């Protein structure tokens, strides 16, 4: 069993026993503190994920503003229980990890910050195995319009 | 400044769509402000946790998320709560429309 | 001073065109105020601006010519016109300067990429002005071309009376050295514009 | 033969430009779907209903042109002439009137903080968000029937084409020609109904560059800043006339704001 899963299970357990504030303990400090995509992957227990076309990142190829880059991730891999988002060139690449249970679909739409043009990597956990997909998003210099 | 939340839970085709908006500065280590960002988000359906998220400073200011829950029915109670690195929390509740 | 430059042309038939031009200017002078480095007076029109506004940027050939001749007199061409294209690239990229939130001490940019395509590698470019991709490659870097580029950047109205391009030297936006650096950015065979 | 050669060379470039445009449109669409703008509407509604000022009354009796307290569809019919002030007013100007006349606040108090920031949005920004949201789906119909409305529209047109400042710009310098852009940003032709409709119906807007909902008065202020003009007075005749000109040019299109912008 991988770290991501273990952490999330721990989070769920804590939730049952303690008030919400106790969740602070379930924030994966090592993974979020990682400064390279490799370390971030290791931090979430997905050191060597397999490429999958069933993990889909829906996002524009060009973002007019790196402060808000909308991304939609969905997994068609059977038994997906978690999805993580890694922005490879960010100073701290791991952006988020989501654990799905009790009928939640492996789907999430979110807005992320991107420091510069970078590959965005999605990681899915299904049946204890790790899968990945990437998409490059170009962050452009804006003018004054809008 | 952390402030109000807004949520809309609607029935899609075969799933419940949960769109949630949060007021939060989500400051980064690069900015000159003190680090202040949401770390944990929990989505519950009728009291049962369905999504547990851990997020970083790389989530945009005033976060907006969409989640999906299989099936669901009108009137289901959806609750979303967050906890940030300073221990502040907020939550919102709505019935599926 | 700027107003005087075109006093001759201003007395021409144009004055008939829009009797309310003065009212419109007065309303601007009432409704705008000095902020930071931008003084309220900047909202008053000089003769070029007024003629172009009154004629929808299409002055008669005669008046247009007169404007261009007058504006050409504002340009003092330095002996050496080619600067450093690397510095030119930074100036072309930068859109800073001359706004009411800018401070006096910081160097201004040329905002070139806001309106022109220049180097192929920069995909974020505007299209209000013509593409200048490969400008030096197609035109060469001869003395006449250098002079044209310097002059055009210094005062675009000397070449096209009601051009939408700012008079970057005349307005004090760019220094002589900065314009030379831009000349090099456009014309130097080693510049990314010509790669 | 040579023509074909050029065509072949040009093709990948054109395709790239087309793709870029498509991707930016996709960015803007997704940005709109994930917009926090509603948070501002929510806060604005609370402020609208909150009693304030020496008279301790809320905005619920504020007349935006359709009668006291009628908010639905009101923004779509602004700017317009108001008899009580004998002036053409845009939304911001009218809200100031309600602050002073209805709530009894001083103009100094009402105008103390018009533009807020991400950490502390202004009262004006919240109120505007709420009011414009109540016009979603309403067709733009700023009137030009009163003589003062006609005069305001005509002045607005003149303001739009007025070239000045150290860079010789007018609004038309950037918004006067079709299919142009600054950097990657498409520039609508605001003197043309199609362009005005597209742009005007998506302002005010949440701007992700500012993490903040921005009013039309702010939009105009910031345009003038970038045009290298001095600063326009908030809710001055020139800015209201310009807004009026844009609103009338945009007539007939359903309002879609508050929008979301880069």
- Read off the pLDDT of each residue in D206-225 and give the average, rounded to a whole number: 95
pLDDT higher for A87 or C14? A87
- pLDDT, tens digit, for every residue of C177-190? 999 999 999 999 99
Check pLDDT > 90 for residue D148.
Answer: yes
Residue C4 confidence class, pLDDT cut points 50, 70, 90: very low
Mean pLDDT, rounded, of chain A: 85
Hey, is D42 helix, strand or coil?
Answer: helix
Contacts of B87 (CB under 8 A, 6+ apart): A21, A24
Q: Hey, of B61, B82, B90, which one would you mutate to test binding to chain D, going by the most D CBs within 10 A of its CB?
A: B61
- Residue C15 is predicted with a pLDDT of 34
- pLDDT, tens digit, for every residue of B60-87? 999 999 999 999 999 999 999 999 999 9
- Residue B28 is predicted with a pLDDT of 86
Q: Which residues in chain A are contacts of D182 at CB distance < 8 A?
A: 143-145
Q: Is the dihedral of CA C32, C33, C35, C39 positive or negative?
A: positive
- Is the CB of residue D187 less than 8 Å away from at least one CB of chain C? yes
Domain with residues D33-261, CATH architecture? Orthogonal Bundle (1.10)
Q: Which residues in chain D are contacts of A110 at CB distance < 8 A?
A: 34
Check pLDDT > 80 for residue C91.
Answer: yes
* Phi, psi angle pair for C73, to nearest 5°: -65, -15
Nearest to B62 among D36, D42, D120 (CB): D36
The span from the CA of D171 to the CA of D165, in Å, is 12
- Closest residue in D to B24 (Cα) is D119
- Is the CB of residue D243 less than 8 Å away from at least one CB of chain C? no
Q: Where in chain C is the domain with CATH 1.10.760.10?
A: 85-194
Instruction: Answer yes or no: do B48 and A99 touch at CB < 8 A.
Output: no
Which residue ranges form the domains of chain B, and what is each CATH number? 5-95 (2.60.40.10)
* Phi, psi angle pair for B81, to nearest 5°: -135, 155
Q: What angle is formed at CA A65 by the lines to CA A61 and CA A70, rounded to 5 degrees?
A: 55
Instruction: Answer yes or no: do C40 and D230 touch at CB < 8 A.
Output: yes
Flag whether A89 is in a domain: yes
Give chain D's length: 262
Check pLDDT > 90 for residue D249.
Answer: yes
- Cβ density class A10-29: b for 16+ within 10 Å, e for less: ebbebbeeeeeeebeebbbe
Whether residue D79 is preceded by a cis peptide bond, meaning omega within 30 degrees of 0, is: yes
What is the tally of structural domains in chain A?
1
Chains that touch D (3 or more CB pairs under 8 A): A, B, C
- Is the CB of residue C171 less than 8 Å away from at least one CB of chain D? yes
Nearest to A59 by CA among A114, A100, A97: A114
The span from the CA of D152 to the CA of D202, in Å, is 22
- Residue D7 is predicted with a pLDDT of 42
Domain containing residue A102: 3-139
Flag whether A146 is in a domain: no
Contact present, D75 and D134 (Cβ < 8 Å) = yes
- pLDDT, tens digit, for every residue of A19-31? 344 444 489 999 9
B54-57 — which CB contacts under 8 Å span 24+ positions?
B54/A7, B54/A11, B54/A26, B54/A27, B54/A28, B54/A32, B54/A96, B54/A97, B55/A95, B55/A96, B55/A97, B56/A32, B56/A92, B56/A94, B56/A95, B56/A96, B57/A92, B57/A113, B57/B26, B57/B27, B57/B28, B57/B29
The CA–CA distances, whole Å, from D58 to C136, C195, D115 equal: 65, 64, 21
Check pLDDT > 60 for residue D2.
Answer: no
- pLDDT, tens digit, for every residue of C140-160? 999 999 999 999 999 999 999
Give chain C's length: 195
Give chain A's length: 146
Nearest to A140 among C95, C114, C123 (CB): C123
Whether residue D204 is preceded by a cis peptide bond, meaning omega within 30 degrees of 0, is: yes
Instruction: Answer yes or no: do C124 and A144 touch at CB < 8 A.
Output: no
Contacts of A2 (CB under 8 A, 6+ apart): A44, A45, A46, A125, A128, A130
Contacts of A35 (CB under 8 A, 6+ apart): A91, A92, A93
The span from the CA of C95 to the CA of D226, in Å, is 9
Cβ-based contacts under 8 A for chains A and B: 125
Flag whether A79 is in a domain: yes
- pLDDT, tens digit, for every residue of C5-61? 444 444 433 333 334 788 999 999 999 999 999 999 999 999 999 999 999 999 999
- pLDDT, tens digit, for every residue of A115-145? 999 999 999 999 999 999 999 999 986 544 4
- Read off the pLDDT of each residue in D184-195 and give the average, rounded to a whole number: 94
pLDDT higher for A13 or B48? B48
Topology of domain C85-194, per CATH? Cytochrome Bc1 Complex; Chain D, domain 2 (1.10.760)
Q: Does chain B reach chain D with at least 3 CB pairs under 8 Å?
A: yes
- Residue C153 is predicted with a pLDDT of 98
Q: Which residues in chain D are contacts of A70 at CB distance < 8 A?
A: 27, 30-31, 33-34
Flag whether A144 is in a domain: no
Structure tokens at D52: 């304030």
Beta B77-84 vs D212-214: how paired, if at all? unpaired
- Read off the pLDDT of each residue in D205-209 and give the average, rounded to a whole number: 92
Report the CATH number at residue A25.
Answer: 2.60.40.2470
Contact present, D122 and D114 (Cβ < 8 Å) = yes
């Amino acid at each position: 069993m991988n770290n991501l899963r273990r952490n999330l299970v721990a989070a769920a357990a804590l939730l049952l026993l303690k008030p919400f504030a106790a969740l602070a303990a379930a924030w994966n400090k090592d993974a979020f503190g990682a400064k390279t995509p490799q370390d971030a992957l290791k931090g979430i227990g997905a050191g060597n994920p397999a490429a999958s076309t069933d993990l889909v990142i829906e996002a524009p190829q060009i973002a007019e503003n790196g402060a808000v880059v909308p991304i939609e991730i969905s997994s068609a891999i059977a038994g997906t229980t978690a999805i993580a988002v890694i922005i490879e060139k960010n100073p701290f690449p791991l952006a988020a990890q989501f654990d799905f249970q009790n009928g939640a679909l492996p789907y999430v739409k979110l807005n992320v910050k991107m420091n510069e043009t970078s590959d965005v990597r999605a990681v899915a956990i299904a049946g204890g195995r790790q899968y990945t997909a990437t998409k490059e998003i170009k962050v452009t210099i804006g003018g004054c319009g809008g | 400044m952390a402030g109000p939340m807004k949520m809309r839970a609607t029935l899609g085709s075969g799933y419940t769509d949960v769109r949630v908006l949060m007021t939060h500065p989500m400051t980064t280590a690069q900015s000159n402000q003190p680090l202040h960002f949401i770390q944990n988000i929990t989505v519950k359906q009728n009291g049962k946790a369905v999504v547990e998220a851990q997020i970083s400073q790389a989530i945009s200011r005033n976060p907006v998320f969409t989640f999906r829950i299989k099936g669901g029915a009108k009137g289901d109670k959806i609750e979303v709560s967050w906890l940030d690195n300073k221990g502040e929390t907020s939550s919102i509740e709505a019935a599926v429309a | 001073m700027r107003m005087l430059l075109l006093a001759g042309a201003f007395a021409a038939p144009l004055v008939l065109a829009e009797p309310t031009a003065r009212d419109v200017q007065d309303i601007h002078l009432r409704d705008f105020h000095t902020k930071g480095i931008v003084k309220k007076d900047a909202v008053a029109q000089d003769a070029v601006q007024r003629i172009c506004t009154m004629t929808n940027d299409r002055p008669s050939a005669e008046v247009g010519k007169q404007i261009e001749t007058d504006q050409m007199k504002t340009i003092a061409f330095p002996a050496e016109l080619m600067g450093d294209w690397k510095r030119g690239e930074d100036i072309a990229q930068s859109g800073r300067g001359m706004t009411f939130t800018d401070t006096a001490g910081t160097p201004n940019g040329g905002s070139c990429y806001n309106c022109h395509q220049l180097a192929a590698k920069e995909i974020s470019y505007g299209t209000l002005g013509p593409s200048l991709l490969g400008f030096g490659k197609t035109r060469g870097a001869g003395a006449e071309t250098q002079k044209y580029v310097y002059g055009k950047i210094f005062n675009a109205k000397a070449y096209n009376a009601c051009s939408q391009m700012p008079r970057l030297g005349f307005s004090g936006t760019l220094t002589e050295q900065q314009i030379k650096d831009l000349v090099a950015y456009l014309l130097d065979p080693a510049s990314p514009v010509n790669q | 033969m040579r023509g074909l050669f050029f065509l072949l060379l040009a093709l990948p470039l054109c395709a790239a430009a087309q793709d870029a445009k498509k991707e930016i449109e996709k960015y803007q669409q997704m940005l709109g779907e994930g917009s926090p703008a509603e948070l501002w509407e929510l806060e604005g509604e609370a402020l609208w209903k909150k009693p304030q000022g020496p008279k301790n009354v809320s905005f619920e009796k504020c007349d935006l042109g359709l009668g006291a307290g009628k908010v639905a569809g009101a923004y779509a019919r602004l700017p317009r002439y108001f008899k009580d002030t004998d002036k053409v007013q845009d939304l911001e100007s009218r809200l100031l009137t309600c602050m002073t006349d209805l709530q009894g606040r001083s103009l100094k108090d009402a105008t103390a903080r018009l533009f807020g920031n991400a950490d502390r949005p202004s009262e004006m920004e919240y109120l505007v968000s709420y009011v414009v949201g109540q016009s979603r789906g309403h067709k733009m119909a700023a009137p030009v029937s009163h003589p003062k409305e006609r005069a305001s529209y005509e002045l607005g047109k003149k303001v739009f084409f007025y070239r000045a400042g150290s860079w010789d710009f007018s609004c038309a310098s950037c918004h006067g020609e079709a299919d142009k852009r600054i950097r990657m940003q498409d520039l609508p032709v605001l003197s043309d109904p199609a362009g005005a409709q597209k742009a005007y119906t998506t302002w005010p807007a949440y701007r992700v560059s500012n993490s903040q909902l921005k009013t039309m008065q702010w939009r105009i202020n910031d345009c003038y800043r970038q045009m290298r003009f001095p600063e326009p007075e908030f809710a001055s005749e020139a800015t209201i006339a310009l807004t009026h000109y844009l609103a009338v040019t945009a007539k007939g299109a359903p309002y879609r704001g508050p929008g979301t912008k880069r």
